[in-house]
């Protein structure tokens, strides 16, 4: 939070003025008292002070380096900047839920299939007072709101133009600064499973498309003839909390996507039916509608049948986790943008739902079909206000948002078996899942008819080096959290290990809290953005395993040419050379933005 | 390599070191006498041992809860520590070389455990019960006060904030030790450095018992200083943590000496 350096100065001034005036006021002219009030009533300006929150280097080797880079350059520019390392769960609680931050460095929570509409949830001002991944920046820009609506309701060239203009405005006004798209590095063993490269191990679909290496020996895994897939991660959150809508506990949702299924899944470039058997589009006026027929005989992990009612419940519940019990609504802190596409869901019969969308195009609307389905019989009991030991403690949140969901009941191909907080998680194959049950015949998903492993074990380690060590000692098959470029030689030296580099759309960014001065000023944010040397970071911090970018959609076909990276940032070029900011250029940029410096080079609040 | 393998390795190495030191420092006469009177002496320090046992049990019982609690009420001082001391740890690391890294890693893992375990045996073999009582109480105070600080202060070590300047030398050189240390500590608990405070506690008490064990005084002093340097050299602790550790050890020793009055082996 902005500190109050200069308060003492203020008191000093007040005292001095009071003393001198006390003497003079013996004469007692009212003009003098007026002058006193004019002087004392003015708050002197003080140095701008900013905190940059991020996770410690142990849990993400890159984020803390980006934060330090920015902090050093802010200092050069005369801002008192401090990096505050915070545990990952706590970081996102402070940023997403409580909005207690000035700046933070983090990753976008989706690794693939970004779309102009992904920015709807992230930036629309209608979400600025909600908590979660919906507009965590408190950014309000009416032009952006209009463009967000426009890309939702148009198609073809018009949508392309709206998306381009949207990206330009976002790059100019910087609610968050896109830094780089990382190549997710993974160390994998090649002596048990293959096809690591199809989708990369960092997604549920990627894990489901693995295949056993012919002739590999799995006899040590189980008493029976099953195979176990062992993954190493530095992120302990899944071992403590398995709530699909708890934003502060989810990274990319890889394991949640194994536990919870959705109507459709997006992979290989298209939205593919998953729990849906058929998806039939129609138009109702300007509003697209879709009839979804579920596969036959679906059930939840606890044996309860999965019906169309659960589908309708999920959409209603995510839009308002109180289910209308209260006057105000409390929407889920994840999937907000996608759920907001849906106008209404009606149940036709046990296996069929009809989803009516708000006016727009099908291409946008189908994003709403990929959210995880929740069982009504479990979550309908979580709509009450959050309480501890029966005492309501927080009227602004429901039980659903704070529940750790220790024994998740989903319908995904893997079910929860056990976990040990901060140590491990074990999932096992759900025998009733359609991928397992319909083995043999032609499967519409295009994935192997049955997952290659019967059990999944996730082990938590304390740093990326330990994760690689675990894989190289044959205690794990692959790493799943971010590895730093420094681990690459270690992987290359080990004969059984393979290095996979998979470009992720989960871009690193610096988020600004636009709710408070000076970060509420787009000119100020724009100038701060020019203190980050993305090329330098990609070379020095990411060891070239990343691509610098000027737009969150840089890795999609929606990037306009004028925002393409051409050696330097096209909108917010760096104010210096080779990572070092030039103090003169920084000062003149801040002065141009309307800020002033003190005599000793400190940037002042006003 | 699993956690248990590493643990067994540490136990074996430290046991060998203690055996060697027992013969060389305590001497055969004292050891024989200790063997005869062990039961009696154990009973005599039972109250102090009970205190230590309680502290250690509480420590291990609430170890997992402390960080959770800390994030609710604790004060994150990492940024302030950096503002205070800057890149001093990076300066220490500028002297890094493979032999030094091997030495300090050995000291941090094995040497430290040896420093803590050996004096328990050595002081039990003395005719005076006071040094052992003081040692056990001082250990308890270190752990107890240290735990309190861990609740009140959240601090990450230099390797977690300054990863561009400070290398996590122990874990990048010997990743297997992280499997061990992550079981006994969380990375938010660096202020104060318990490695420092416990080692210095041992060294201070070794100085007080220099008439009985002059060789041990020399070894403990050298060992404790090595541990202190190792904590910073390996990028695990800030100089501030070390200073706080020194204060903690001084306080623990002073309080322990005050509370322990009796020097006889009767209970």
Q: Which residues of B touch A87 (CB under 8 A)?
A: 67, 71, 188
Q: Cα separations (Å) of A501 from A159, A188, A553, B121?
A: 32, 11, 20, 54
Is residue A316 within 8 A of residue A371, CB to CB? The reply is no
Of A215-224, A404-413, A563-572, where does mean pLDDT reach its minimum? A215-224
Does B126 fall in a domain? Answer: yes
Cβ within 8 Å, pair A65-B164: yes
Q: Which residues pair with A267 in a beta bridge?
A: A270
pLDDT at residue A26 in the model = 55
* Res A544 pLDDT > 90: yes
Locate A227 and state its tokens: 């195979």
Our CA-based measurement puts residue A460 at a distance from the nearest CA of chain B, in whole angstroms, of 10
- pLDDT above 90 as % of chain B: 69
- CA–CA separation, B258 vs B134, rounded Å? 9
Cβ within 8 Å, pair B161-A56: yes
* Upstream peptide bond of A272 is cis (omega within 30 degrees of 0): no
Q: How far apart are the first and last CA of chain B?
A: 45
Of A141-155, A193-207, A519-533, A539-553, where does mean pLDDT reach its minimum? A193-207
Q: List alpha helices for A140-223, DSSP H.
A: 142-153, 156-173, 204-208
A421 Cα distance to chain centroid: 23
A462 touches chain B (CB under 8 A): yes
What is the per-residue DSSP string for A440-500? Answer: SSPPTT-S-SS-S-SEEEEEE-SSHHHHHHHHHTTS-SEE-S---GGGHHHHHHSTTEEEE
Facing residue for B175 by CB, picked from A58, A85, A469: A469
Locate A134 and state its tokens: 């919906």
Question: Which 3 state secondary structure label does DSSP give A504?
Answer: coil
Residue of A nearest to B165 (CA): A65
pLDDT at residue B38 in the model = 86
For A304-344, the pLDDT digits (tens) are 999 999 999 999 999 999 988 767 788 999 999 999 999 99
A475 touches chain B (CB under 8 A): yes
Interchain CB contacts (distance < 8 Å): A and B = 74
CA-based nearest residue to B177, from B221, B248, B230, B225: B230
Our CA-based measurement puts residue A580 at a distance from the nearest CA of chain B, in whole angstroms, of 15
Give residues with Cβ within 8 angstroms of B233, minimum separation 6. Answer: B92, B93, B95, B96, B100, B101, B104, B169
Tell how strand A49-54 and strand A103-107 pair up. parallel
Cβ within 8 Å, pair B161-A473: no
pLDDT at residue A605 in the model = 86
For B156-191, the pLDDT digits (tens) are 999 999 988 998 888 888 888 877 777 777 788 889
- CA–CA separation, A402 vs A384, rounded Å? 11
ipTM over 0.90: no
pLDDT at residue B64 in the model = 79
Is residue A345 within 8 A of residue A414, CB to CB? The reply is no
- CA–CA separation, A449 vs A558, rounded Å? 34
Q: Which residues of A touch B172 (CB under 8 A)?
A: 465, 486
* Res A24 pLDDT > 60: no
Place of tokens 């060294």: B203
For A105-127, the pLDDT digits (tens) are 999 998 888 999 999 999 999 99
Domains (range + CATH), chain A: 7-40 (no CATH), 51-182+506-592 (3.40.190), 186-260+412-501 (3.40.190.10), 263-402 (3.90.76.10)
The helix (run of H) or strand (run of E) holding residue A437 is: helix A434-437
Our CA-based measurement puts residue A97 at a distance from the nearest CA of chain B, in whole angstroms, of 15
pLDDT at residue A234 in the model = 92
Tell how strand A80-85 and strand A49-54 pair up. parallel
- CA–CA separation, A548 vs B246, rounded Å? 46
Cβ within 8 Å, pair A56-B187: yes
- Determine the residue among B68, B83, B89, B163 to mutate to test chain A binding: the one whose Cβ has the most chain A Cβ atoms within 10 Å: B163
Residue of A nearest to B188 (CA): A87
If you average pLDDT over every residue of chain A, what do you get? 89
For helices B28-44 and B112-124, what crossing angle results, to 10°? 90
CB-based burial label for A571 (10 Å; 0-12, 13-18, 19+) = middle
* Res A2 pLDDT > 80: no
- CA–CA separation, A123 vs A205, rounded Å? 28
Residue of B nearest to A83 (CA): B79
Q: Which residues pair with A103 in a beta bridge?
A: A52, A512
CA-based nearest residue to A572, from A30, A160, A177: A177
Identify the DSSP state of A95: I
For helices B214-233 and B239-259, what crossing angle results, to 10°? 150
CA-based nearest residue to A407, from A399, A396, A415: A415
CA-based nearest residue to A87, from B156, B74, B238: B156
Q: Which residues of B touch A473 (CB under 8 A)?
A: 1
- CA–CA separation, A438 vs A450, rounded Å? 8
Cβ within 8 Å, pair B83-A64: no
Alpha-carbon dihedral sign for residues A129, A132, A135, A138: positive
Cβ within 8 Å, pair A421-B64: yes
- CA–CA separation, B267 vs B257, rounded Å? 18
Cβ within 8 Å, pair B79-A51: yes
Cβ within 8 Å, pair B179-A461: yes
Q: What are the b/e assignments for A228-251, b being 16+ CB within 10 Å? A: bbbbbbbbbbbbbbbbbbbbbbbb
Q: Measure the CA angle with vertex A490, ends A487 and A495; round to 5°.
A: 140
Tell how strand A211-212 and strand A193-194 pair up. antiparallel
pLDDT at residue A8 in the model = 45
- pLDDT above 70 as % of chain B: 98
- pLDDT above 70 as % of chain A: 92
- CA–CA separation, A178 vs A532, rounded Å? 10
Alpha-carbon dihedral sign for residues A84, A87, A92, A94: negative
Cβ within 8 Å, pair A90-B71: yes
For A471-512, the pLDDT digits (tens) are 998 999 999 988 998 899 989 988 889 999 989 999 999 999
Facing residue for A84 by CB, picked from B1, B76, B162: B76
Locate A494 and state its tokens: 């080990």
A338 Cα distance to chain centroid: 14
Is residue A51 within 8 A of residue A511, CB to CB? The reply is no
Our CA-based measurement puts residue B144 at a distance from the nearest CA of chain A, in whole angstroms, of 24
Average pLDDT (A222-229) is 76
- CA–CA separation, A262 vs A252, rounded Å? 15
Of A27-41, A225-239, A545-559, where does mean pLDDT reach its minimum? A27-41
The pLDDT-based confidence of A449 (bands split at 50, 70, 90) is: confident
Average pLDDT (A428-433) is 93
A57 touches chain B (CB under 8 A): yes
Locate A558 and state its tokens: 């929606």
Categorise residue A49: left if φ over 0, alpha if ψ from -120 to 50, beta otherwise: beta
Which residue would you say has higher pLDDT here, B260 or A530? A530
The pLDDT-based confidence of A4 (bands split at 50, 70, 90) is: very low
Q: Which residues of B touch A469 (CB under 8 A)?
A: 175-176, 178-179
- CA–CA separation, A353 vs A293, rounded Å? 7
A461 touches chain B (CB under 8 A): yes
Is residue A597 within 8 A of residue A586, CB to CB? The reply is no
A221 touches chain B (CB under 8 A): no
Which residue would you say has higher pLDDT here, B113 or B64? B113
A212 touches chain B (CB under 8 A): no
Does B28 fall in a domain? Answer: yes
Range of the domain at B188: 3-259
Does B74 fall in a domain? Answer: yes
CA-based nearest residue to A61, from A485, A466, A532: A485
For A155-194, the pLDDT digits (tens) are 889 999 999 999 999 999 999 999 999 999 999 998 899 9
If you average pLDDT over every residue of chain B, what do you get? 91
Tell how strand A455-460 and strand A228-233 pair up. parallel
pLDDT at residue A32 in the model = 84
Cβ within 8 Å, pair B64-A61: no
A64 touches chain B (CB under 8 A): yes
Q: What are the b/e assignments for A471-494, b being 16+ CB within 10 Å? A: bbeebbbbbbbbbbbebbebbeeb
Our CA-based measurement puts residue B237 at a distance from the nearest CA of chain A, in whole angstroms, of 14
Is residue A212 within 8 A of residue A227, CB to CB? The reply is yes
Average pLDDT (A411-417) is 96
Our CA-based measurement puts residue B77 at a distance from the nearest CA of chain A, in whole angstroms, of 8
Locate A29 and state its tokens: 């002219």
pLDDT at residue A181 in the model = 96
* Res A199 pLDDT > 60: yes
Cβ within 8 Å, pair A85-B1: no
CA-based nearest residue to A364, from A68, A508, A155, A138: A155
Is residue A479 within 8 A of residue A233, CB to CB? The reply is yes
Q: Measure the CA angle with vertex A395, ends A394 and A400; round to 5°.
A: 80
pLDDT at residue B98 in the model = 94
Our CA-based measurement puts residue B81 at a distance from the nearest CA of chain A, in whole angstroms, of 11
Overall domain count for chain B: 1
Does B136 fall in a domain? Answer: yes
* Three state DSSP letters for chain B: CCHHHHHHHHHHHHHHHHHHHHHHHHCHHHHHHHHHHHHHHHHHCHHHHHHHHHHHHHHHHHCCHHHHHHHHHCEECHHHHHHHHCCHHHHHHCCCCHHHHHHHHHHHHHHHHHHHHHHHHHHHCCCCCHHHHHHHHHHHHHHHHHHHHHHHEEECCHHHHCCCCCCCHHHHHCCHHHHHHHHHCCCCECCCCHHHHHHHHHHHHHHHCCCCCHHHHHHHHHHHHHHHHHHHHCCCCCHHHHHHHHHHHHHHHHHHHHHCCCCCCCC
The pLDDT-based confidence of A10 (bands split at 50, 70, 90) is: very low
- CA–CA separation, A534 vs A511, rounded Å? 15
- CA–CA separation, A121 vs A338, rounded Å? 7
């Amino acid at each position: 939070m902005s500190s109050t350096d200069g308060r003492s100065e203020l008191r000093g001034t007040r005292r001095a003025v009071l003393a001198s005036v006390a003497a003079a006021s013996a004469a007692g002219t009212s003009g003098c008292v007026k002058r006193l009030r004019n002087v004392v009533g003015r708050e002197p300006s003080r140095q701008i002070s900013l905190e940059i929150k991020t996770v410690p280097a142990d849990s993400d080797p890159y984020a803390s380096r980006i934060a330090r880079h920015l902090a050093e350059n802010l200092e050069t520019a005369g801002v008192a900047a401090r990096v505050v390392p915070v545990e990952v769960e706590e970081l996102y609680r402070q940023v997403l839920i409580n909005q207690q931050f000035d700046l933070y460095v983090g990753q976008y929570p989706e690794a693939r299939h970004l779309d102009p509409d992904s920015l709807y949830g992230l930036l629309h001002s209608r979400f600025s007072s909600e908590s979660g991944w919906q507009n965590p920046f408190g950014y309000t820009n009416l032009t952006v709101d209009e463009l967000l609506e426009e890309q939702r309701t148009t198609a073809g060239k018009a949508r392309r133009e709206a998306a381009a203009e949207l990206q330009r405005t976002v790059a100019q006004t910087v609610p968050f600064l896109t830094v780089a798209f990382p190549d997710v590095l993974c160390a994998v063993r090649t002596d048990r499973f293959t096809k690591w490269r199809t989708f990369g191990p960092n997604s549920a679909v990627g894990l489901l498309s693995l295949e056993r290496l012919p002739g590999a020996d799995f006899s040590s895994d189980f008493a029976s003839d099953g195979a176990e897939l062992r993954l190493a991660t530095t992120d302990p959150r899944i071992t403590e909390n398995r709530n699909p809508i708890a934003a502060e506990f989810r990274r990319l949702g890889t394991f949640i996507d194994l536990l919870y299924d959705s109507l459709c899944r997006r992979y290989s470039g298209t939205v593919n039916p998953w729990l849906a058997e058929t998806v039939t589009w129609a138009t109702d006026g300007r509003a697209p509608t879709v009839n979804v027929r579920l596969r036959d005989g679906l059930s939840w992990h606890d044996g309860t049948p999965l019906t169309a009612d659960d589908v309708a419940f999920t959409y209603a519940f995510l839009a308002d986790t109180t289910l209308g019990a209260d006057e105000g609504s409390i929407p889920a802190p994840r999937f907000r943008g996608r759920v907001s596409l849906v106008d209404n869901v009606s149940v036709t019969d046990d296996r069929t739902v009809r989803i009516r969308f708000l006016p727009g195009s099908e291409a946008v609307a189908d994003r709403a079909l990929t959210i995880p389905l929740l069982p009504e019989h479990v979550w309908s009991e979580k709509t009450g206000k959050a309480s501890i030991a029966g005492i309501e403690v927080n009227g602004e949140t429901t039980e659903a948002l704070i529940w750790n969901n220790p024994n998740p009941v989903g319908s995904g191909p893997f079910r929860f078996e056990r976990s040990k907080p901060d140590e491990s998680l074990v999932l096992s194959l759900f025998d009733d899942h359609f991928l397992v049950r319909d083995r043999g015949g032609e499967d519409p998903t295009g994935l192997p008819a049955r997952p290659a492993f019967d059990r999944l074990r996730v082990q938590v380690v304390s740093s990326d080096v330990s994760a690689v060590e675990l894989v190289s000692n044959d205690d794990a098959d692959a790493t799943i959290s971010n590895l730093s470029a420094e681990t690459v030689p270690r992987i290359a030296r080990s004969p059984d290990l393979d290095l996979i580099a998979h470009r992720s759309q989960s871009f690193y960014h610096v988020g600004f809290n636009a709710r408070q001065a000076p970060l509420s000023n787009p000119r100020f944010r724009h100038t701060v953005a020019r203190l980050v040397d993305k090329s330098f970071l990609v070379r020095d911090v990411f060891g070239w395993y990343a691509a610098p970018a000027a737009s969150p959609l840089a890795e999609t076909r929606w990037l306009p040419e004028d925002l393409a990276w051409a050696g330097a940032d096209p909108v917010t070029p760096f104010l210096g050379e080779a990572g070092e900011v030039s103090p003169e250029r920084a000062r003149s940029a801040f002065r141009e933005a309307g800020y002033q410096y003190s005599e000793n080079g400190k940037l002042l609040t006003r | 390599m699993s956690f248990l393998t590493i643990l067994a390795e540490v136990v074996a190495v430290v046991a060998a070191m203690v055996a060697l030191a027992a013969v060389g420092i305590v001497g055969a006469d004292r050891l024989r006498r200790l063997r005869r009177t062990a039961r009696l002496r154990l009973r005599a320090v039972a109250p102090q041992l009970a205190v230590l046992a309680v502290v250690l049990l509480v420590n291990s019982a609430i170890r997992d809860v402390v960080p959770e609690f800390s994030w609710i009420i604790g004060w994150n001082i990492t940024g302030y520590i950096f503002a205070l001391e800057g890149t001093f740890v990076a300066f220490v690391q500028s002297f890094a070389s493979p032999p030094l890294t091997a030495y300090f890693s050995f000291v941090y893992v094995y040497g430290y455990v040896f420093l803590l375990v050996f004096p328990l045996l050595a002081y039990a073999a003395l005719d005076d019960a006071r040094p052992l009582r003081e040692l056990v109480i001082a250990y308890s105070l270190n752990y107890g006060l240290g735990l309190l600080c861990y609740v009140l202060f959240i601090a990450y070590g230099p390797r977690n904030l300054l990863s561009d300047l400070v290398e996590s030398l122990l874990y990048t050189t010997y990743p297997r030790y992280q499997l061990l240390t992550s079981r006994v500590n969380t990375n938010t608990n660096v202020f104060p450095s318990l490695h420092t405070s416990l080692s210095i506690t041992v060294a201070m008490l070794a100085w007080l018992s220099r008439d009985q064990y002059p060789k041990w005084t020399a070894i403990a002093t050298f060992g404790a200083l090595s541990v202190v340097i190792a904590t910073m050299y390996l990028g695990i602790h800030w100089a501030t943590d070390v200073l706080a550790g020194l204060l903690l050890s001084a306080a623990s020793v002073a309080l322990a000496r005050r509370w322990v009055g009796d020097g006889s082996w009767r209970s």
